[in-house]
Copies of this chain bind each other. A is one copy, B any other.
Amino acid sequence: MINIIDGGVTAPKGFKASGVACGLKNNQKKDLAVVCSDDLAVASGVFTKNVVKGHSLQLTMEHIKSGYAQALVINSGNANACLGEQGYKDAEEMASLAAQLLNCNSKNVLVGSTGVIGMPLDLSKVRSGIKSAISSLSEEGGHDAAEAIMTTDIVSKEIAVEFEIQGEKVRIGAMAKGSGMIHPNMATMIGVVTTDINISKKLLDKALKDVINHSFNRVSVDGDTSVCDMVVILANGKANNEGIVKEDIEYSTFKSALEYVCTYLSKMIAKDGEGATKLIEVVAEGAKNNEDAYKIVSAIAKSPLVKTAIFGEDANWGRIITAAGYSGADFDPNLVDIYIGELMVCRNGTGLDFDEEKAKEILKEAEVKIKINLKAGTSSDRIWTCDFSYDYVKINGSYRS
């Protein structure tokens, strides 16, 4: 039984957070977040697979190797990427300043940055931001933190759930930001998950990696993967459950709750994709194997032609079968069925004389499901994406200005 509760990263016991504006964004919006646990927490993370990696992310990859962390500092408005040695030094200074103020080891501070690439961080702003954020840390600060990590996101993204483990109430809280430059396979954005469960490092790591493959790694906004994207989880054990040390039923309960949280945020990210007017779920069934199923959903979700057709509410399924055809998956086009919502539009690779009005109605909804059945095997996959609108072009034609 998983209950949704109020709040985000500060909903679990023993976590505080804050979000402040320190001038990295031009518009006086919040741009620096701090999340911290009262005590050292076990920690795990998943990071971008891009060959190019932001400096803050690189530092976090180093620090998280210990398996422990206590705090996280994230700035928006600047990616701290492609800046040579200075970028890494700046990330180190962010961590050490926060550590000093929080009275912890700087190795236990994780750092994240998101925004424009290749522009040096204004460290005096960052320093004042960290000071001000740490002085305003509170158990109600989760929402401010969620706002402070937004870039082109329109809505802030957070969720918290409560469930029972080993007779104790346990909570997971989380926040995430999108909303462009998003495509698997990598952590596809910045996501921060907190929990007060008592769990071993090894199982926390396993749960996160398993869950991410079906949630954050199944979101595509534009096929681009950023150099700064990561998902980290901190578990501080404050719920006082006995401790999860093996893959038993209690572990499964935790994993289900984590999956619920990550899936919720993944769909929010797709829905809030840059310029998006619709959330699209692409499902592939009957693939020969898992790799093929993934290739199919990924190619369809990435196709600008599919995405503009759905924006235009045009049931142009020819573009769906076309994308499947060049995905690299192995299948017989003469067996393919395609559905838009519940409406079958193509059977055995041949177009049906379907009701265009009904298709239009389905495509007018805020959430659209596309399903393709290859009848080549038993593997399936699904991915969330959004449509491609005028606003995507507008947002991305002038992002730096």
Q: A346-B118, A351-B119 are in contact. Are A325 and B393 (CB under 8 A)?
A: no
Asked if residues B181 and A305 are in contact (CB atoms below 8 Å), the reply is yes
Out of B309, B350, B393, which one reaches A392, CB within 8 Å? B393
Residue on B nearest A119 in the bound complex, by CB: B351
Contacting residues, chain B, for A341 (C-beta < 8 A): none
Contacts of A97 in B (CB 8 A): none
**Which residues of B are found within 8 Å of A333, using beta-carbon distances?**
51-53, 82
Taking a contact as CB atoms under 8 Å apart, the answer to whether B314 and A225 are in contact is no
- Residues B303 and A224 in contact, CB atoms below 8 Å apart: yes
A400 touches B50 (CB 8 A): no
Assembled-state Cα–Cα distance A333/B48 (Å): 14
- Please name the residue on chain B nearest to A275 by beta carbon: B393
Given A305-B181, A326-B50, A333-B51, is A314 in contact with B397 using a C-beta cutoff of 8 Å?
Answer: yes
A94 part of interface (Cβ distance < 8 Å): no
Contact status of A304 and B82, CB under 8 A, knowing A117-B351, A322-B50:
no
User: Closest Cβ of chain B: how far from A203's Cβ, in Å?
Assistant: 30
Q: Mark A63-97, 1 if CB is under 8 A from B, else 0.
A: 00000000000000001011110000000000000
* CB of A349 within 8 Å of the partner chain: yes
Closest to A333 in B: B52
A79: contacting residue among B180, B318, B346, CB under 8 A: B318
Q: A82-B346, A314-B400 are in contact. Are A224 and B326 (CB under 8 A)?
A: yes
Inter-chain CA distance A181–B326, complex, in Å, is: 11
- Residues 288-310 of A at the B interface (beta carbon under 8 Å): 302-305, 308-309
Question: Is the beta-carbon distance between A52 and B321 smaller than 8 angstroms?
Answer: yes
| CB neighbours of A319 from chain B (8 A) | 117, 181, 224
A82 near B302 (CB under 8 angstroms)?
Answer: no
> Chain B residues with Cβ under 8 A from A318's Cβ?
79, 81-82, 116-118, 227
Task: Verify B400–A316 contact, CB threshold 8 A.
Answer: yes
Q: State whether A321 and B224 are in contact (beta carbons under 8 Å apart), knowing that A393-B389, A394-B390, A397-B312 are contacts in the complex.
A: no
Cα of A316 to Cα of B226 in the assembled complex, Å: 14
Q: Contact partner of A51 among B51, B81, B116, B326, CB < 8 A?
A: B326
Task: Answer whether A305 and B350 are a contact pair too, CB < 8 Å, given A51-B326, A181-B322.
Answer: no
- A325 CB to closest chain B CB (Å) equals 3
A53 and chain B: residue at smallest CB distance = B333
Residues of B within 8 A of A84 (CB): 334, 348-350
**Contact status B82-A118, CB under 8 Å:** no
- Considering the complex, which residues of chain A in the window 190-244 have a beta carbon less than 8 Å from any beta carbon of chain B? 222-227
> Known interface pairs A83-B350, A305-B180. Does A331 touch B51 (Cβ–Cβ under 8 Å)?
yes
Is there a chain B Cβ closer than 8 Å to A323's Cβ?
Answer: yes
- Tell me the nearest residue of chain B to A120, going by C-beta: B351
- CB contacts (< 8 Å) of A119 on chain B: these are 351
A51-B333, A311-B397 are known; give 17 further A-B pairs, CB within 8 A: A51-B326, A51-B331, A52-B322, A52-B333, A82-B318, A180-B305, A223-B302, A224-B303, A224-B319, A225-B325, A227-B322, A227-B325, A304-B396, A309-B396, A314-B401, A316-B399, A390-B393
Lowest 9 CB-CB distances: which A-B pairs, in order?
Answer: A117-B318, A312-B397, A118-B351, A52-B325, A308-B396, A84-B350, A50-B325, A51-B325, A52-B333
